Amino acid sequence: MSTNQKHITFWNGEKMPVVGLGTWQSSREEIETAVNAALEAGYRHIDAAYNYLNEDVIGEVLQRWIESGKVKREELFIVTKLPMIGNRPEDVEKFLKKSLVALRLDYIDLYLIHAPVGLIGKHDTDVFPHDDQGFAMIDMKTNLVNLWKSMENQVDAGLVKSIGISNFNEEQISRIINNARIKPANVQVELHVQFQQKSLREFCQKHELTICAYAPLGSPGRNDFYSKLGLKPPVAIPDLFHHPVVVKIAEKHKKSSTQVLLRYLIELGVAVIPKSVNPERIHANFQVFDFSLSVVDMAQLGQLDQGEAGFTFDFSTFFKGMDKHPENPYPNRVKGIVL
């Protein structure tokens, strides 16, 4: 990918900015600062989710920017996601409209099914429901094909421009494609230098699906996340910033390790949504269009892939029982489901 190519193009012609702001794990106060800083830095792609319970704050910031004339709605690319408690055909429109109200928008640029596993919430903000023993309240009747047909209806209604999926495996994606009237435009998954998802990338390229990487830096902030929950990380969170190969390439280009890690994925044709609430880091994460990596750089970074061993988003420690769901996307990888 050339240094000045700042978008990836969907099969339907819609264009997603290749760098977006991730908003998971952000408090309401932090997210206001983060979205403002991102828009000031030049971001136009904001990745949200009903599950994050902060869409309303994002919406307030977006409304201020649009009403002030600092940005036009059509210049923004807003992503949000159907929560797992909404993984039933009859609930898609309801949760989408809740997101639209919170985000203060008339349409969503890309609407994703957050995960293939359905949950049964006690109410509409019970996004990760558990029983008294800590077992996830799973909906064993999740039907992905019927769910997708309801997603297609939202495109027909003009409420979303493109639809996609997150945390699905290749078999599940194939099932959607084979039964789709409107095929997925984007797949969002964990993807970083130590978990490069080569098979999935080849699969998506074959089917003209684009990929967006969450945790493109390995999500080091999860250490604090687990600490706040009183839990030990279920797997080691990788320290990609200080890997000697990454550091050496960063020094050669007079860039930071973070910028090299993001640039690597961009040159693979993958969009990235690094999460930060620090304005300086948010700005720095966007400074990835003024350099490119050499063939040697790419080869060296490619060798850092650990395959399945690099997968880190195992939430089975506090989503007990998720592996019992018939649509568990990773039955042969780890117990639990990624977010």
Residue 148 tokens, joined:
């997708």
Can you say how many angstroms the Cα of residue 332 is from the centroid of all Cα atoms in its chain? 22
- Summarize the chain as % helix, strand, coil (round to 5): 40, 15, 45
Catalytic positions: 52
How far apart (Å, rounded) are the C-alpha atoms in residues 29 and 23? Answer: 12
DSSP E strands, 159-313 = 160-166, 186-190, 210-214, 271-272
DSSP E strands, 10-145 = 15-17, 21-22, 45-47, 77-82, 108-113, 118-119, 138-139
* DSSP structural state of residue 90: G
Residue 14 near residue 109, CB atoms below 8 Å: yes
How far apart (Å, rounded) are the C-alpha atoms in residues 217 and 260? Answer: 10
